[in-house]
Structure 1
Amino acid sequence: MDCSDKGSVTRVLLEAGFGNEAEEHAGAFVTSAKALGPSVSALRAWWVPGRIEVLGKHTDYAGGRSLLCATDRGIAFVVKPRPDKVISITDSHTGDTDSFEASPDLDTSTGDWRNYPRTAVRRIASNFGALSGVEIAFHSNLPQAAGMSSSSALIVGFTLILIRTNGLDGRDIYKENIGNDEELAGYLGTVENGQTFGTLEGGAGVGTFGGSEDHTAILCASADTLKRYAFCPVQHERTVGFPRSLTFVVASSGVVAEKTGGALELYNRASRLAGAVTNAINKGLGDSHPHLAAAIQSVGVDGVRSALSGATDSDFGVDDLLDRFDQFVRESEQIIPAATDALDGNDVEGFARYISESQANGARRLKNQVEETVWLAEQAERLGARSASAFGAGFGGSVYALVDTDRAAAFASEWASAYRSAFPARADASVFFLTRPGPATFELADQSSKV
C-alpha cells in the first residue's frame, strides 16, 4: 500500500464505507507513513475503530448481551518489516516512542499507553513463540480514556499486526483455537484481561477483569448498522440497520476513565460483584454455573433471585448483590432484546425510551456514573435529544446522545457550550463530535476483508 498518496488512501477509505471523514483519516495514514522513514510505497496499513456500546452496561463478562457499533473515529496503523526481532513503535501524533524485543517475559509495567502494545507482544510471544521485528507508526483521533475503547483498539491493532505480519493465522495452533472473527475477538479480550483462551495460555493482561465486547465491536461491526452479541463465548444474535435520519453525538466528559489508572479498581469492583453474584447463586443452588447469564438460563430469574435472597459475601452485602443482579437482568434480558425489536421495526421513539431506561437503571443500580456523565445525559434530553446514555466502563468517560441528523451539528454545539459552562474545570479536556456506525477493522490493501 502506498501510504504516501493521500488521494489513493482516501479512495480506499471511501470504498470501505467512510464519508466526509475519509480525507482526515487518510492524512493520519500519510503522517504515520512518514514517521517510518522515506520508503513508504510498500507498507501495510490497518484501520482500527473505536466503539459505542449503545446498550450493554457491564454485561459481557457476565455472559450477557450488548448492542454495539464501531465509530468513524479510530486509529491508523502503518507497518513495515524489520530485519531483526525488535518491535519499534511511534505515536505519530505525539512523537512518543517505544522499542523492545518480543519476549514472553517482557516488562509491561509502564503505566501509560505503552502497556497495551507490550501486553499484546508479551501474550503473542508466549502463545506462538519467536516473532519477526516490525516498525509500527500509529495516529489516533479517539479521545483517550474516554470510554470509547481507545485502549482495546490499541490491543486489537498491535495484536492483529503481529498475527498478520508473522503469518500466525496459518499455524495449526491458531486454527485449532480461532476459526472466525468472533473467536478472534474472544481471544483478544483475553489478551487484555489475561485469561486463557482454549489452549492459548493466559498471563499478565492490563489489569482489568473485563470481557470481549469492545474487541467484538472493533472487529465485527459494519457501517450503518448496530449488531447484537452475546458473550462467553462471543455469539452474533442480530443485525439491525441504523436510520440515516439519526446520528450519535458523543460527549467525552474529560473525566479520565483510564483502565490502567485510577478507575481500574472501580471498574474491577463491578466485575468482581458480578462474579460474587454468580458464586452466591452457585452456593445457594449447589451448582457451578460459569457466569450470571448461564445461571439465569438454567433456573430462571425467579430461581436466581430466591438463591440470592439469603446470600452472604465477605466483600458485598445482599443489597449490593441484588442491585447487580437486577441491573444485569433488566439490561441484558429485557431492555436489549426489546430495543433491538423496536429499532428493527422502525419504532425510533420506543428505541429511545429503552436507551433512557438503560441510563437510569445503570446509574441507580450499577453505580458507575459520575456527576458529569449524569448531567450530560440529562442535559442532552433537555436540549431535545431523543435519548442519551453514558457508555463504556463508566467512572468517567463519555455519553452519547441520539439526535436527528438534520440538527445534530447545532445540537453538538449547544450541548458542548452548556457543559463547559456547567463544568469549567472540564472544558479543555472535553470533546464533542458526531459519528454514525462505521466499518470494522480492515487492512487497507484489501478493504473487502474486515481483518
Structure 2
Amino acid sequence: MIHVSRCFRGTQEGLGERVCPLGERFALDVAQIPKSLPRWTSKLRMTSSSPASVSNLIRAPESVEAVGSSARAQEEPLLRLLLERIDPEAPAAIFRVPGRIELFGKHTDYAGGRSITCASDRALVFLAQPSKEPGVRVFDRVRGEEVVIDPGQGEASGPDWKLYSEVGLRRLAADFGGFRGGALISFASDLPSESGMSSSSALLIGTCLCALAAAQLRDYEAFLRVFQDLPRLAEYLACVEAGRAFEGLDSADGVGTRGGSEDHVAILCSEAERFSTYSYLPANRESTCRLASERVVAVAFSGLHAHKAGAAKEEYNLASRLASELHDLCESAAGRKFRHLAEALAVWGYSNALQSIPPDRTDLQRRLEHFQSESNEWVPMASRALTQEDFEFLGRLAKESQRAAETLLRNQTPETSFLAAWAYEAGADAASSFGAGFGGSVWAIVRAGRAPEFLREWRRTYEDQFPEAASQAAFWSFRPDRACERLA
C-alpha cells in the first residue's frame, strides 16, 4: 500500500520558472529559498568529482558534524531547498542526478545498438537520512507529495513518479535480502518531466542510491561483489526499470516500458564537457569527444509531455517490440542465436535480415532500415564529425536522423518536427528531436555567442506557431555536464 499526502505547494510567484517531476508546471520561487544556510551546514562536505567506484557512491551517510565546507550548497538552490528539512544531528547523503541528452541513437539501446549522449545541466537533487521507522519515505519537496513505501510488500502501482521509486526499492530488496533499516528521502528537480530527458530514470536511480546509502541492504557485500563498476550498475538499474532479469537475478514487475540502458548509462557515466558514444548489451564506451569550446547545446522542451503510461505506453513500446520481432526473425532464418538485433546485423548482415522479413510487413522493413541507419551509420559518422568539429557534416547527419524519425519510426509530432526544422533557419549547426518520441524535446548545436539570441528567436517563433504547447515549453542552453555524483 502506498500512502500519498499533500504536504507543500510551491508558490506561484517565482523568479525561476521550472517544471516539476510530475509534469505539472510551476514556478519555483528561488527568492524564498534561504540565501544563507543554517550555521551547522558550513560543516557539510561537498565534492564535485565523479565517484571512482560504486562503493564510493553508496557509502554510508556521513555525520554532518564531522565533515567540511558547503560552498557547493550555497550555489545550488535545489539543495538549499532540501537542507531546510534536514536533521542536523543525523548523518546525511546527498546526490545530484542529471538528465541526459541524446544526440544520435534513437531507439537503439535495447537492441544492442549505439548512441551518443551527454549529461544535462538540469538535475534532480536528493537528500537521504537513515530512519528508525521501517520503510522508505520519499518526499517531493517541490510538488509537496510524500510517499511511504514498504520495499518488502505489495506490487508496484500508480502512474506517477511514485511508481519509479517503488519499483526500484522493491527490486533491490528482493535481489539482496531486504534493507537493514528505514530511510527518509527528499528530492527537488529543475529537470522538465516527461520531456525526453530521462527524468523518470533519474528518479529511479536517485531513489535507489539514497536507499543503498541510508537504509543499506542486508546483502550489502553481495551487492558490491556484483556491481564493481558504474556501467554494470547502470545496466542493472535499466533491467529493474524494464522488469527484466539481470544475469542470475530474477525479473520482477517494472514500470511497464521496454526500454534499454542508454539513459542509466548516460546518467551514471557521462563526463563533463564531453559527448560519449556507447554500444549496449553490454554497455561499452566506444569513444568520447569534447564539444568545441565556442559551441553550446541548446534545448527546447516542446511542452508536449512524452507520457509512458496508459495508451501512450503501447506507442512507446512499439519500436522495442518490432526490434525484438526482427531479432527473432533473424535467428529463425539464420538457424542460430544472436544476443540482440545489433549482433544479428553485424554477423549475418543487413541484406540477409531484410530478406527474412515477410513482404507484407512494411512496419518491420521500416524498423530495420531505421536501426541500421541510426546505429551503424549515423552514430559512428556523427562521433567523427564532433571530434573533427565538422559541424556542417554533423548538421546533414542530424537532418537525416530527424527525417528517419518522422518517416520510419513515425514517433514525431508537428511541434518537435517544427522545432528541429526551424533551428536550422535560425542558424543552428545541427538539430534533432530526442527521447522516446510522441512529444519531448529537441537539441541544437549553436555558437555560444549567439545562444541567447537564438533561444529568444526559437521560443518566439514556436510561440507564434504553437501557442498552447509553448505555454508549457522551456528553452535553455548549456555545455555537457557531470554524471551523477555524491555531494556529501
Q: State if a TM-score over 0.5 links the two structures.
A: yes
The equivalent residue for 2:320 is: 271
The equivalent residue for 2:167 is: 119
1:405 aligns with 2:448: yes
**Residues 418 and 178 of structure 1, relative CA distance in 2, 3 Å threshold:** same
Give, in angstroms, the shift of residue 290 of structure 1: 3.0
The equivalent residue for 2:414 is: 371
Map 1:64-213; keep pairs closer than 5 Å: 64-103=113-152, 105-131=153-179, 132-168=181-217, 171-213=220-262
**Does structure 2 conserve the Cα–Cα contact (< 8 Å) formed by 1:88 and 1:136?**
yes
Give, in angstroms, the shift of residue 7 of structure 1: 9.0
**Residues 11 and 278 of structure 1, relative CA distance in 2, 3 Å threshold:** same
**Residues 264 and 10 of structure 1, relative CA distance in 2, 3 Å threshold:** farther
- Give the Cα–Cα distance (whole angstroms) in 2 for the partners of residues 439 and 122 of structure 1: 28
The equivalent residue for 2:30 is: none
**Residues 8 and 405 of structure 1, relative CA distance in 2, 3 Å threshold:** farther
CA displacement, residues 120-148 of structure 1 (integer Å, 9 cap, x when unaligned)? 11111111122121101100001011100
Root mean square deviation, CA, Å: 2.5
Give, in angstroms, the shift of residue 231 of structure 1: 0.5
**Does structure 2 conserve the Cα–Cα contact (< 8 Å) formed by 1:4 and 1:30?**
no
**Residues 159 and 298 of structure 1, relative CA distance in 2, 3 Å threshold:** same
- Give the Cα–Cα distance (whole angstroms) in 2 for the partners of residues 134 and 93 of structure 1: 19
Give, in angstroms, the shift of residue 25 of structure 1: 6.1
**Residues 349 and 4 of structure 1, relative CA distance in 2, 3 Å threshold:** farther
**Does structure 2 conserve the Cα–Cα contact (< 8 Å) formed by 1:33 and 1:40?**
no
- Give the Cα–Cα distance (whole angstroms) in 1 for the partners of residues 161 and 380 of structure 2: 36
Give, in angstroms, the shift of residue 10 of structure 1: 11
CA displacement, residues 325-368 of structure 1 (integer Å, 9 cap, x when unaligned)? 01001110011111111211222222232222211122211111
**Residues 93 and 230 of structure 1, relative CA distance in 2, 3 Å threshold:** same
The equivalent residue for 2:17 is: none
- Give the Cα–Cα distance (whole angstroms) in 1 for the partners of residues 444 and 43 of structure 2: 31
Give, in angstroms, the shift of residue 242 of structure 1: 1.1
- Give the Cα–Cα distance (whole angstroms) in 2 for the partners of residues 391 and 9 of structure 1: 41
Amino acid at match of 1:352: G
- Give the Cα–Cα distance (whole angstroms) in 1 for the partners of residues 258 and 178 of structure 2: 28
Choose the corresponding residue for 1:347, options 390, 393, 399: 390
Choose the corresponding residue for 2:84, options 34, 43, 54: 34
Choose the corresponding residue for 2:378, options 296, 311, 335: 335
**Does structure 2 conserve the Cα–Cα contact (< 8 Å) formed by 1:177 and 1:199?**
no
Give, in angstroms, the shift of residue 286 of structure 1: 2.1
- Give the Cα–Cα distance (whole angstroms) in 2 for the partners of residues 359 and 320 of structure 1: 18
- For normalisation by structure 1, the TM-score amounts to 0.90
- Give the Cα–Cα distance (whole angstroms) in 2 for the partners of residues 6 and 260 of structure 1: 43
* Secondary structure of the structure 1 residue equivalent to 2:138: strand
* Secondary structure of the structure 2 residue equivalent to 1:114: helix
Percent of aligned pairs with the same residue?
36
* Secondary structure of the structure 1 residue equivalent to 2:84: helix
* Secondary structure of the structure 2 residue equivalent to 1:247: strand
1:422 aligns with 2:465: yes
Amino acid at match of 2:104: L
CA displacement, residues 70-95 of structure 1 (integer Å, 9 cap, x when unaligned)? 00100010111101322111111111
- Give the Cα–Cα distance (whole angstroms) in 1 for the partners of residues 44 and 406 of structure 2: 41
**Does structure 1 conserve the Cα–Cα contact (< 8 Å) formed by 2:177 and 2:219?**
no
- Give the Cα–Cα distance (whole angstroms) in 1 for the partners of residues 460 and 44 of structure 2: 32
* Secondary structure of the structure 1 residue equivalent to 2:476: strand
- Give the Cα–Cα distance (whole angstroms) in 2 for the partners of residues 293 and 3 of structure 1: 51
- Give the Cα–Cα distance (whole angstroms) in 2 for the partners of residues 322 and 216 of structure 1: 29
Which piece of structure 1 moves more, 127-136 or 322-331?
Answer: 127-136
The equivalent residue for 1:323 is: 366
Give, in angstroms, the shift of residue 23 of structure 1: 7.1
Which piece of structure 1 moves more, 79-88 or 156-165?
Answer: 156-165
- Give the Cα–Cα distance (whole angstroms) in 1 for the partners of residues 482 and 446 of structure 2: 21
Which piece of structure 1 moves more, 138-147 or 342-351?
Answer: 342-351
The equivalent residue for 1:253 is: 302
Amino acid at match of 1:107: E
Amino acid at match of 1:227: S
Give, in angstroms, the shift of residue 58 of structure 1: 0.1
- Give the Cα–Cα distance (whole angstroms) in 1 for the partners of residues 316 and 42 of structure 2: 42
**Residues 159 and 429 of structure 1, relative CA distance in 2, 3 Å threshold:** same
- Give the Cα–Cα distance (whole angstroms) in 2 for the partners of residues 433 and 380 of structure 1: 13
Amino acid at match of 1:427: A
Give, in angstroms, the shift of residue 161 of structure 1: 1.8
Which piece of structure 1 moves more, 418-427 or 217-226?
Answer: 418-427
* Secondary structure of the structure 1 residue equivalent to 2:296: strand
Give, in angstroms, the shift of residue 33 of structure 1: 2.1
Structure 1 residue runs without a partner (length 5+): 17-21, 312-316, 446-451
Give, in angstroms, the shift of residue 200 of structure 1: 1.7
**Residues 73 and 399 of structure 1, relative CA distance in 2, 3 Å threshold:** same
**Does structure 1 conserve the Cα–Cα contact (< 8 Å) formed by 2:301 and 2:473?**
yes
**Does structure 2 conserve the Cα–Cα contact (< 8 Å) formed by 1:208 and 1:259?**
yes
